[in-house]
Amino acid sequence: MSTSSNQKKLAGLKIGFFGKGGAGKSTAVVLMARALARAGYTVCIVDADSTNFGLHQALGMEQPPAPLLDHFGGMIFSGGRISCPVDDPTPIPGAEISLDSFPQEYYTQGENEVYLMSGGKLGAAGAGAGCDGPIAKIARDIHVSRQTSPVVTLVDFKAGFEDTARGVVTGLDLAIVIVDPTQASLALATNMQQMVENMHAGQLPATRHLESPDLVADANRLFQESSLSKVLFILNKITDEKTERFLRQRLSASNIQPIGVIHHDPGFTEAWLTGTTIDDSKTRSDVDLMLQQLEASVTDAESGQPVSNRDR
Ligand SMILES: Nc1ncnc2c1ncn2[C@@H]1O[C@H](COP(=O)(O)OP(=O)(O)O)[C@@H](O)[C@H]1O
Ligand SMILES: [Mg+2]
C-alpha cells in the first residue's frame, strides 16, 4: 500500500491515458485502477475508446455497463443531443454525476472499489455515424464523485492526437502517455509534452471553423480554464535494459522522465486474447511505486498544496 495513501492526494482528480493504438493504455488503466484501489481510493474508469472491446473482462467484470451516450441523449449523427466537440465545444449539461444517485445500469462494479463506465461503441451507432467525437465530449466533460469516499477518475482514451485535437485534455487534471518501444510512441510523447507546454503558455485552440462568436468564446474558455497541470509518461512492454535505456535517453532529450516502467508480461497478452481478467501479480509492486510517483507529482514543491483544489 502506498505510504501516502491517507493523504489522498489524487482525490477528486481526473486522469486521462493517451498513447498510440496498442501502446498499452487499457492495460495501464487496469493496473493503475487496482493500485489506486489498494491505496484506498474509489476508482471510476471511463472507457472512451469507441473501438475497444474487453475492458470489462480485463477487470474481471461479466458485463459491460450501458453506454453513457444513451444516458446523455445519443449522438447528434443519429438524431441525439451530444455533438462533436470540434464543431460545438459547448459543455454537456448534467455531466457532473454522483455515484450515489447515478442510474446503476451505467456503471459496473468490479473487485474492490473499481467502477467502470463506457462512453459507447461506434459499431452500435450504425453506418454513417462515423465520428466518435460525441464520446470524446462525454469523456471531456464527465466528473464523477461520491459522498462517502474520494473518487479518482481514469479515462481510457482511444489514441493520442485524435483525442487531444478535440480538446479532451481541457477536462483533465493530469494526462498520462503510455510509451511502448516504437518511434511512433516517442514522437507522440514529445508532441504531447509540447502541446501541454503551449497550452500553459496561453495558446488557444483552432476556432476559425466556428461560426458563432459564442462557440469561439466557449472553445477559448475551456482552454483558459483547464485544470490540466501536467503530462506524465509511463514506459510499457519493456523486455530488456537496452530497450529501456534507449527510450529513456530519447525521452530525456525532450526533458521527459517517465514515472515508471511496466515490463512485458506474456500473461497480459493472453488475458486480452482470451477475454479473461488481467493477472497483475508480477507488476503489482512496480505499479504501486508508480502510484507513489503520481501522488508526488501532484504536490506543488513550493506550497506543498495539491495542484488542483477541486474536490469533486
Ligand atoms: N506490458 C505488456 N506486456 C505484454 N503485452 C502487453 C503489455 N501491454 C500491452 N500488451 C499487449 O498489447 C495489446 C494492446 O494493449 P492495450 O492495453 O489494449 O493497448 P491500447 O489500449 O493502448 O490500445 C494487448 O492486447 C496486449 O496483448
Ligand atoms: Mg485500449
Domain chopping of the chain, boundaries: 10-283
Task: Please state the atom number of ligand 1 nearest to the C-alpha of residue 20.
Answer: 22
Give residue-wise pLDDT tens across range 68-87. Answer: 999 998 888 778 888 888 88
Q: Which fold has domain 10-283?
A: Rossmann fold (3.40.50)
Q: Which band of pLDDT confidence, cut at 50, 70 and 90, is reported for residue 5?
A: very low
Q: How far is the CA of 175 from the centre of ligand 1 (A)?
A: 19
Q: What is the pLDDT of residue 301?
A: 46
Q: Minimum-distance ligand to the CA of 47?
A: 2
Closest residue by Cα to atom 3, ligand 1, is 264
Segment 19-38 mean pLDDT? 97
Q: What is the pLDDT of residue 129?
A: 59
Q: Minimum-distance ligand to the CA of 270?
A: 1
Task: Please state the atom number of ligand 1 nearest to the C-alpha of residue 262.
Answer: 1
Tell me the range of 71-85, 106-120, 290-304 where mean pLDDT is highest. 106-120
Which residue among 27, 177, 192, 236 is best mutated to probe the pocket of ligand 1, counting the most ligand atoms within 8 A of its Cβ?
27
Which residue among 157, 179, 268 is best mutated to probe the pocket of ligand 1, counting the most ligand atoms within 8 A of its Cβ?
268
The residues, ordered by sequence, that sit 6+ positions from 287 with a Cβ below 8 Å of its Cβ are 31, 32, 34, 35, 260, 262, 280
Neighbours of 263 (CB within 10 A): 15
Q: Which band of pLDDT confidence, cut at 50, 70 and 90, is reported for residue 160?
A: confident
The residues, ordered by sequence, that sit 6+ positions from 284 with a Cβ below 8 Å of its Cβ are 34, 35
Task: Please state the atom number of ligand 1 nearest to the C-alpha of residue 49.
Answer: 21
Give residue-wise pLDDT tens across range 161-217. Answer: 667 777 888 999 999 999 999 999 999 999 999 999 998 998 888 888 888 899 888
Q: Minimum-distance ligand to the CA of 18?
A: 1
Q: Which residues line ligand 1 (CB under 6 A)?
A: 19, 21-27, 178, 236-237, 262, 264-265, 268-269, 272
Which stretch of 95-109, 146-160, 213-227 has the lowest confidence by average pLDDT?
213-227
**Average pLDDT for the chain:** 89
Q: What is the pLDDT of residue 222?
A: 85
Which stretch of 2-6, 18-22, 41-45, 209-213 has the lowest confidence by average pLDDT?
2-6
Q: What is the pLDDT of residue 126?
A: 60
**Is the confidence at residue 306, as pLDDT, over 70?**
no
Segment 16-26 mean pLDDT? 96
Task: Please state the atom number of ligand 1 nearest to the C-alpha of residue 27.
Answer: 17
Q: What is the pLDDT of residue 300?
A: 56
Q: What is the pLDDT of residue 294?
A: 96
Which residue did the predictor score with more confidence, 214 or 28? 28
Q: Which residues surround ligand 2, an ion (CB under 5 A)?
A: 25-26, 49, 52
**Is the confidence at residue 123, as pLDDT, over 90?**
no
